[in-house]
Structure 1
């Protein structure tokens, strides 16, 4: 993802001293990555203050800072910053808590932790305890974190939240915009408890030499009576570094577009065996390597040679695919020779598309449809675990091979970790195919994993019936009121072999409002594979079982009506 790398420039200095204590129980650290990690993960700065009442305070703070600066960068690039950092912090907390529980000397591994992540034009804070993160902007100093302290009396406070204190942990998290010239200060209470807000503001504005400034603040805290460890980190954002659009286009254009290829032509040692697909947006070929290995080559359309957003999305496709490893998701492979044109390769899955299967066999036997749906769920969950939405689930993007279903085409994928990054190029919003995309993409509702769930349910419905669950009106609807007017058509109308409870599971997954669908795909799959007792009640039971009181009242009323009619008849004779 070379074209998405922001050249974030930060001046940084840090200092951590024992002060007047015999041991320094604070730990500070920072990581400034290079290459793709600078774009996908950003710069991480961490500070921790081991709780002094614990004899293992130093080990706790060192563990917290070391682990967060190592494990955060080991999380998938596709994860959003909040997901990556919070998962690692929870993992650290469980480790410290277990160390405390298993320690024969009953030592508590307790520490505060404050983490600042600078990523493009955004910042993210993660905080537990009473260490702090400040931001100085336009002469105004703002504390971005809240101290987790509980005051007992005028002179006594205790830490109400710390890593290692409990198996469950609440983390304060915030995301804000970053501006050039911002100064960020991280400190422990040995410093900020002994320098007032006004003085701290003046000091941060007084010098551009951050190294000297850390020593000045350290000496000032000592002079003001600090008896604790003193730790301080200062980061100044000199340049957010988001490249201009022209810069990005230059990088993207280093590789020329591949020409339209014909059967028998060779490119980079790959011989075209067959043209699989051609459209306005791309070309897809079946190619073979020198040793005869079949692969699929996708090339961008020359119609978009000057479209930066299109090029960025095309390059992103291969990046997404290369970070997925699941037998139900097509695998992106490296070319056998140096690439001379813009294209990417995937493994070749021999077999028909789901479109062909539906056209030739629908309605499929219920057991076959459920088996294919289960494999689709496995593939989609592999994307969701990487914080990625497919957004274009349709029969043409599903191949039914010898080993089962395989998802292909990442052209419309949404990746949380990428969306967080600043990009100079306007995003190319692709909503997938109208008949299969969830309605919220069109009426502007919240999108997420349940949006892919909707598309999966459409595929399942088509496998069982050969029809669309809402008919032709679905493709024409654009607003929420229009969607609310169209009604779900029971699968039983087109295939009486579909169980009632399965039809209800489909209807729920196809709800117009995302919040009315299943929370997770596993619940939907469970309801497809076995009867949900709730689906067997009310709606499809005989009316006598659903509303017995109404039936008896109706019968009683009919009886009285008949009796009255007879009396009238007798009286008139």
Structure 2
């Protein structure tokens, strides 16, 4: 995704001093990556204050800072910032807690931790303890965090939340918009407990040199009588991280569109053996590499040569595919030579599509359908672990090869990490095939992993019956009201060999409301593989549970008929 290169620029300075103490138990750190990491992960700035009552305070604060700045940048770049940072913080907390539990000298590895991540035009804050994060904007200083302290009396407070204090940790996480000229300050209590808010604001407004400002703030704390460690970090936004549309289009246009290719033609050492698919949006070819290996080449349609949003989506496809790494998801392959035009390559999987298998063999046996479902769940979970939704699960996008079912085509994928990057181009939102996409895509509901669950359930239903679970009307529905009028058609109507418990599992995964589906694909797969005991005692749910709106409508109609009948009887009398 090099067309979304971040242009973020910051002025930065930091200071950490023991002050009047013999040991500095504070730790500060920052990481300013370059290239792709700056785009996908942003700049991370962190401060920690080891709890002074603990002999291992210094080790705890150093572990928290160095651990975060190393591990955060090692998380998948498809993950959203909050997921990446929280995973790392929770892991560090468990480590510090275990160190405390296993310490021979019964040392507590306790520390505060406050972090900012600036990515694109957004600020992400993560906070535990009583170190602080401030923002200066328009001359006004605002505290963005709250101290996790508990007051005992007028003079005594204690830290109510800290890294390493408990196996379970609650982290305060917030997201803010960043504006040009914003100044962010991170500090430990050796500064903000001794220098009042008004003085902090005045100094931040008066001094533009951040290094000089750090020393000025340190001196102010010492002059106020501070007897603690003093640490401060300052970052000023010089340029936001979102690229301009002109810059983005320039990067996307570096490679020309590939021409329409015919059998026998060669491009970048790749010889076309067969035209596999042509549509209004793209072309797919079977090509042979110089080493004799067969690959699949996908090229964009020249119909969209002047459409930056389309080009961005096409570039994104190969970026996503290269980051999954699962045998049930097609692998993206690096070309043997530098590209002379826009295309990407994937491994070639000889075998029919699921669409062909359904057309020729449906209904499949229950064991075959469940086995294919298990393989597809494995592939989809690999996507979900990377915070990615496929969004276009359909029979044509599943190929059955020697290693089983394999998902292909990333053209409709949604990636959380990419959404956070920001783009100067209005996104090209591609909705999956209507007959297989979850209803929330059309009525504007909240989408997520359960949306892919719905689409996969449609595939399994079709494998077992050759039909669709809601009939032809499903493809025409657009509003929530229209979807709620649809009725699930039991798979047993078309295939009496389908066990009732498996049909119930399909019905749950195919519920119109996402909240009523399974919490996890693993739970659904378990119910497909073996009978759920709760479903063996009753063949069907009561009608009021399956369609409450219909029951109440019927009850209302019956009630009005009874009233009308009673009124007519009284009139006759």
Match of 2:567 in 1: none
Q: Distance in 1 between matches of 2:179 and 2:449?
A: 32
CA RMSD of aligned residues (A): 1.1
Aligned length: 543
Match of 1:96 in 2: 96
From the superposition, tell whether residues 542 and 89 of structure 1 become closer, same or farther in structure 2 (CA, over 3 Å).
Answer: closer
Q: Distance in 2 between matches of 1:377 and 1:434?
A: 21
Report deviation, 1:537. 2.9
Report deviation, 1:539. 3.9
Q: Distance in 1 between matches of 2:507 and 2:542?
A: 20
Q: Distance in 2 between matches of 1:261 and 1:398?
A: 25
Q: Report Cα offsets for 1:370-418 as digits up to 9, x if no partner.
A: 0000000000000000000000000000000011000000010000011
Report deviation, 1:11. 0.5
Match of 1:366 in 2: 366
Q: Distance in 2 between matches of 1:250 and 1:46?
A: 35
For residues 71-82 of structure 1, what are the structure 2 equivalents within 5 Å? Answer: 71-82=71-82
Task: Report which stretch shifted further, 421-430 or 494-503.
Answer: 421-430
Does the 8 Å contact 2:500/2:539 carry over to 1? Answer: no
Q: Distance in 1 between matches of 2:395 and 2:18?
A: 64
Q: Distance in 2 between matches of 1:227 and 1:14?
A: 20
Is 2:28 the counterpart of 1:28?
yes
Q: Distance in 1 between matches of 2:238 and 2:35?
A: 19
For residues 11-410 of structure 1, what are the structure 2 equivalents within 5 Å? Answer: 11-410=11-410
SS of match in other structure, 2:384: helix
Q: Distance in 2 between matches of 1:384 and 1:114?
A: 29
Task: Report which stretch shifted further, 242-251 or 365-374.
Answer: 242-251
Q: Report Cα offsets for 1:198-257 as digits up to 9, x if no partner.
A: 111111111211010000000000000110000000000111042221211111100111
Q: Distance in 2 between matches of 1:352 and 1:442?
A: 30
Q: Distance in 2 between matches of 1:205 and 1:433?
A: 55
Match of 1:553 in 2: none
Match of 2:447 in 1: 447
Q: Distance in 1 between matches of 2:158 and 2:115?
A: 21
Q: Distance in 1 between matches of 2:49 and 2:431?
A: 47
SS of match in other structure, 1:436: coil
Report deviation, 1:139. 1.5
Report deviation, 1:140. 1.5
Does the 8 Å contact 2:286/2:296 carry over to 1? Answer: yes
Give the unaligned 5+ runs of structure 2.
544-573
Q: Distance in 1 between matches of 2:537 and 2:140?
A: 62
Does the 8 Å contact 2:431/2:441 carry over to 1? Answer: yes
Is 2:428 the counterpart of 1:456?
no
Flag the structure with larger Rg.
1
Q: Distance in 2 between matches of 1:203 and 1:496?
A: 78
Report deviation, 1:141. 1.1
SS of match in other structure, 2:152: strand
Report deviation, 1:540. 4.1
Give the unaligned 5+ runs of structure 1.
544-573
SS of match in other structure, 1:409: coil
Q: Distance in 1 between matches of 2:386 and 2:422?
A: 20
For residues 404-443 of structure 1, what are the structure 2 equivalents within 5 Å? Answer: 404-443=404-443
Match of 1:558 in 2: none
Does the 8 Å contact 2:119/2:241 carry over to 1? Answer: no
SS of match in other structure, 2:275: strand
For residues 473-492 of structure 1, what are the structure 2 equivalents within 5 Å? Answer: 473-492=473-492
Q: Distance in 2 between matches of 1:404 and 1:241?
A: 43
Q: Distance in 1 between matches of 2:241 and 2:88?
A: 28
Match of 1:568 in 2: none
Match of 2:494 in 1: 494
Q: Distance in 2 between matches of 1:398 and 1:52?
A: 58
Q: Distance in 2 between matches of 1:344 and 1:438?
A: 28
Q: Distance in 2 between matches of 1:330 and 1:168?
A: 38
Q: Distance in 2 between matches of 1:93 and 1:445?
A: 36
From the superposition, tell whether residues 365 and 152 of structure 1 become closer, same or farther in structure 2 (CA, over 3 Å).
Answer: same
Q: Distance in 2 between matches of 1:7 and 1:324?
A: 27
From the superposition, tell whether residues 491 and 151 of structure 1 become closer, same or farther in structure 2 (CA, over 3 Å).
Answer: same
TM-score of the pair, normalised by structure 1? 0.94
Q: Report Cα offsets for 1:473-502 as digits up to 9, x if no partner.
A: 000000000000011000000000000000
SS of match in other structure, 1:232: strand
Does the 8 Å contact 2:26/2:58 carry over to 1? Answer: yes
Report deviation, 1:541. 9.6
SS of match in other structure, 1:420: helix
Q: Distance in 2 between matches of 1:456 and 1:208?
A: 57
Q: Report Cα offsets for 1:326-366 as digits up to 9, x if no partner.
A: 00000001000111111100000000000000000000000
Q: Distance in 1 between matches of 2:474 and 2:401?
A: 30
Match of 1:469 in 2: 469
Q: Distance in 2 between matches of 1:244 and 1:465?
A: 51
Report deviation, 1:466. 0.3
Q: Distance in 2 between matches of 1:211 and 1:279?
A: 59
Report deviation, 1:538. 3.1
From the superposition, tell whether residues 541 and 54 of structure 1 become closer, same or farther in structure 2 (CA, over 3 Å).
Answer: closer
Match of 2:554 in 1: none
SS of match in other structure, 2:342: coil
Is 2:515 the counterpart of 1:515?
yes
Report deviation, 1:290. 1.3
Q: Distance in 1 between matches of 2:512 and 2:216?
A: 61
Q: Distance in 2 between matches of 1:251 and 1:322?
A: 20
Q: Distance in 2 between matches of 1:12 and 1:162?
A: 27
SS of match in other structure, 1:486: coil
